[in-house]
Chains A and B, each alone.
Chain A
Amino acid sequence: MNKTVDILRKHTMKIILVLIVIFFSVTTKGQMFAPSSFQALIAQNAYVFVLATGMLMCMLTGGNIDLSVGSFVCFVGAIGGMLMVKAQMSVPAAMLLMIGAGVIYGIVEGFLIAYLNIPPWIATLAGYLAFRGWGTALIGGSSIAPMPESFTKMFNGSVPDFFGGSSMNITCLVVGVIVCVVFVLLQIKGRNDKVKKGYETESMTGVIVRCVLVCAVILLFAYKLAQANGIPNNLIWVAVIVMIYSFITEKTTVGRYFYTIGGNVEATRLSGIDTKKIFFLAYLNMAVLTVISAWMTMARLSAATATAGNNYEMDAISACVVGGVSAYGGSGTVFGMVIGAALIGVINLGMSLMGIDANWQMVVKGMVLLAAVVFEILNNKDKTKE
């Protein structure tokens, strides 16, 4: 009995995600499972995953957020549009300059927050206002378009099918199977290592259940995407970024310091760690990831627009909070954030498919966010009582 409760508690968000998917597949009469829905889910939400990864790193350091990311998406987009469309600059050079702009902004922002001790929400509020205005001014009218095709394809395109399947993209299926095999092998290896060293291990059933479920999800995606256009390039960008940051947060010393600073800054500082540098890195990193998500946004619209990036900061923060990242810092994982972002993405998509008015969609999203925080706090309260 207790064990069931434990498992439920640990996987609540995943279970809710499944329930919501089922709910929408019923209300949309199966449209939710159409191949185009899978594609849309990735295309429309890729930017959230990237931004939320950066936001996660900021939030870990003590619930610090960056309000300026949405406006910066607009600003960097404006620069990119001017370089690529108006100045006809080569795409790689323009992208490099955009990254450069991100690095410069990240350094300034990081310096203000880490070394001048300006509260993050104030420092980034300034960026929120300034970059929206600046970006809009640079764009001049409503948008700069169209973007060069070589640029948009990097994100909107898909991996070509090397096997030349006619109705199905066979590459996509093969990659799906390979990912499953690698996942299962890693799980088994991890468990064997633990057994060998005599550490506490989870039951074999647990491992099998996890493998079956994860593989089912991966294969479902592979199958559905194969019926559409194959593996979207956006998915590859997101997967690579998520994997890099999972590694950083779980395995590296720098990643560890993000957590300990969130838990206790003074203790971390007195352990010989340069805490200011970590704060600095959090915001520098955020700005660079913001540029990547700006690319995604521009590519999707094939334009730099004045409204690009509207409310993106809120999407990123919501994804983190729904994904169990503590609003006070010190806890949260990349994987949790991914679940949170997916949950919001599914709700968005489902409601759009149902034809719900955009205003009501926002009401629902607000409720979901609040519910997630309340749930998190009640859950933690129970834990401390024990």
Chain B
Amino acid sequence: MAKILLEMKNITKTFPGVKALDNVNLKVEEGEIHALVGENGAGKSTLMNVLSGIYPYGTYEGDIVYNGEVCQFNKIKDSEEKGIVIIHQELALVPYMSIGENMFLGNERGKSAAIDWNETYGEADKYLKMVGLSESSKVLVKDIGTGKQQLVEIAKALAKHAKLLILDEPTSSLNEKDSQALLDLMLKFKKEGMTSIIISHKLNEVAYVADKITVIRDGSTIETMDKHTTEISEDRIIKGMVGREITDRFPKRHDVKIGDVNMEVKNWTVHHPLYPERKVCDNVSIKVRKGEVIGVSGLMGAGRTELAMSIFGQSYGTNISGQLFLDGKEVQLKNVKQAIKNKLAYVTEDRKGNGLVLTNPIKINTTLANLDSISPHKIIDKDKEYQVAEEYRKKLKTKCSTVEQNVGNLSGGNQQKVLLAKWMFADPDVLILDEPTRGIDVGAKYEIYCIINDLVAAGKSVVMISSELPEVLGMSDRIYVMNEGRIAGELSAEEASQEKIMSIIVNSGKGA
């Protein structure tokens, strides 16, 4: 048996009123990839914050034994000096600085009074090569894609001489291809002796990359599975996470009648708002019927979000051309208000950035898109508002103390439910859901799928944009595959498979 690099013993961390971690034990062997899985709010991130010294020694109970010695970290710098480096889910890079500057931020090369730029960029290039990036370290971070930014983060960690690398949801904003590359990079590092901990919601990735999987549920460690001694399947992990067996990750739709075409987009072309010569969507034609869920699949940057937002009252893009038919009639939607009036809804992929007002209560968020309907003479009927918020809280099973609670204090899954409630209350016929289950746990995902099924059962149409192929395959009646702003293919639910979708993307890329 290999040496134990890290052992966290009986870690208990209490916040006022909540026990976030309860007697957690974690053992990580040197040179392995160890995955931490669990639902949102299970305590994974808290555990990693304890490990990295964000919660300093003394604010928790239990011991951290690293490399044979008990550690007492007071700040992040302490843990980094020992070689424990965390890469957080939200990237912490400064967009208007170069890759090299970012990489040595707080860790500058040269003398204390003067930075040695030659050494900075020379070293940076060396680490970039290790993670397989060919960009010069002088390129600004804002000019490279998220996939590459993630790699820069890893190079930055290497520059700190990381011995234990912790990745928190590293692929949550990456497409399938970049995710795969990242996972392979992790495997490469493992061969070179690096120890890693990965936190992820994507179980297929965990099963692919990890040697051991520790399941955390409600602040306690449930079990640790060893890939080399036991058979690990996704269903097995899910069972550990939610404490029950989800026999079907996607709820079945029963006898939903698919009716007439509800929304049709013809020859839709959208130009980039800053570079008007660039086409973001090129001659796109799609349609969705009543009672139908269509999936829109594609890589990041394929133009899916841009398509949706340009349809939704031209909230993105310039020089938009093409025709839009709603319920058989051609409409011109000049702004979001008109789009909502014509019974269209767009549920954003970025719920924190442009979906919810985090500092406001659930009830205010729920009614925001349709406030006029409960406001005779523009005066808000607060009783009605409360009732509406309560109704949707019950209908969507949102977990909160009251609807007066601020949305910012809810977990990701519950925030997503509030966002859905807001758009359901706007009473649309066609809902465009952009990454409706991003960053939320398995149990909440299932509930969101049920909500989608209820929507189409009520005769609405759902356009679901998603980067998770199993979800697209599991939920859609029909699938459009987008690539580089164009519709690269259309598949029925029966003929679609992960391989087919990927091959459409790859082949259309070659053709261009």
Binding site for B on A (CB under 8 A): 197, 199-200, 251-254, 256, 259-260, 263-264, 266-274, 330-331, 385-386
Question: Which B321-345 residues sit within 8 Å CB-CB of chain A?
Answer: 335-337, 339-341
Minimum CB–CB distance from A325 to chain B (whole Å) comes to: 13
B461 within 8 A of A: no
CB distance from B65 to the nearest CB of A (A): 29
Interface centre among A199, A252, A272, A331 (most CB of B within 10 A): A272
What's the minimum C-beta distance from B175 to chain A, rounded to whole angstroms? 23
- Separation in Å of the B437 CB from the closest CB of chain A? 19
Q: In the complex, what residues of A have CB within 8 A of residue B346's CB?
A: 270
Contact B378 A272 (CB under 8 A): no
Closest A residue, CB atoms, query B383: A197
Q: How large is the interface on B (under 10, 10 to 19, 20 to 34, 35 or more residues)?
A: 35 or more
Q: Which residues from A are CB-within-8-Å of B348?
A: 270
The answer to whether B360 and A259 touch across the interface, beta carbons within 8 angstroms, is: yes
Bound complex: CA of A307 vs CA of B113, how far in Å? 49
Is there an interface contact between B360 and A260, defined as CB atoms closer than 8 Å?
yes
State whether A272 touches B17 (Cβ < 8 A): no
CA of A385 to CA of B14, assembled, Å? 12
Query: Is B315 a contact of A269 with CB atoms below 8 Å?
Result: yes
A260:B16 contact, CB within 8 angstroms = no
Chain B contacts for A259, CB-based, 8 A: 357, 360, 364
Interface residue? B512 (CB, 8 A): no
Write out, one digit per residue, whether chain B residues 239-281 have a CB within 8 A of any chain A CB (1) or not (0).
0000000000000000000000000000000000000000000
Binding site for A on B (CB under 8 A): 15-17, 312-313, 315, 335-337, 339-341, 346, 348, 353-360, 364, 368-369, 371-372, 375, 378-380, 382-383, 386, 402, 422, 426
- 7 further interface pairs, Cβ-Cβ under 8 Å (given A263-B357, A272-B340): A253-B371, A254-B378, A260-B360, A260-B364, A267-B356, A269-B315, A386-B15
B380 and A253 within 8 A (CB): yes
Within the complex, which residue of A251, A263, A272 is in contact with B359, where a contact is CB–CB below 8 Å?
A263
Minimum Cβ distance to chain B for residue A362 (Å): 33
**Whose C-beta in chain B lies nearest to the C-beta of A274?**
B337
Residues A256 and B359 in contact, CB atoms below 8 Å apart: no
B375 and A270 contact, CB distance less than 8 A: no
28 A-B contact pairs sorted by A residue (CB < 8 Å): A251-B382, A252-B375, A253-B375, A253-B379, A260-B357, A260-B360, A263-B357, A263-B360, A264-B356, A266-B354, A267-B356, A267-B357, A268-B368, A269-B354, A270-B315, A270-B336, A271-B336, A271-B368, A271-B369, A272-B337, A272-B341, A273-B337, A273-B368, A274-B335, A274-B337, A330-B357, A331-B359, A386-B15
Take A197-B383, A256-B364, A385-B16 as given contacts and tell me if A268 and B372 are in contact as well, using a CB distance cutoff of 8 Å.
no
B336 in complex: contacting residue of A256, A260, A272, A331, CB < 8 Å: A272
CB contacts (< 8 Å) of B426 on chain A: these are 272
B488 to chain A, nearest CB (A): 28
CB contacts (< 8 Å) of B386 on chain A: these are 199
Residues in A with CB closer than 8 Å to B335 are 272, 274
Residue of B nearest to A261 (CB): B357
Pick the contact of A272: B358, B360, B369 (CB < 8 A).
Answer: B369
| A252 and B364 alpha carbons, distance in the complex (Å) | 13
Residues of B within 8 A of A251 (CB): 379-380, 382
B-chain residues with CB within 8 Å of residue A263 when the two chains form the complex: 357-360
> Given known contacts A256-B371, A385-B15, A386-B17, is B358 in contact with A264 (CB within 8 Å)?
yes
